Amino acid sequence: MKKARAAKPSHDLRPVYDLSELGPGVRGKYYRQAVSGSNLILIGPQLARVFPDSDSVNRALRLLVKTAEASVAPRHPRTLSDAGRRKYRKRSRSAQ
């Protein structure tokens, strides 16, 4: 015995809906809000198991930034001491 087939769903709207009341659609109406409010970054499945939520990811990244900043020597312009300036002058004069 064959099963009865279910009726195909109709993709037409019911006559009770009046689409003229909706007005014209605006493309990209909320685009700027969506882009400005999110910064979505995907992490791999192995990392997702280690970091269960965004707070733990943020804590780890902040610690990484602090560690990197601490390991880099501060960049100060090199200045020669008085003795170093004298040596530099003697070398440059003898080269001429």
Which residues contact residue 60 at a Cβ distance below 8 angstroms, ignoring those fewer than 6 apart? Answer: 51
Residue 11 has pLDDT above 90, yes or no: no
User: Which two structure tokens, joined as six digits, stand for 69?
Assistant: 């900043």
Answer whether 0.85 is exceeded by the pTM.
no
pLDDT in tens, 14-55: 778 887 888 888 898 888 888 787 777 888 999 999 998 889
Distances (CA, A) of 38 to 24, 51, 53, 61: 28, 19, 16, 18
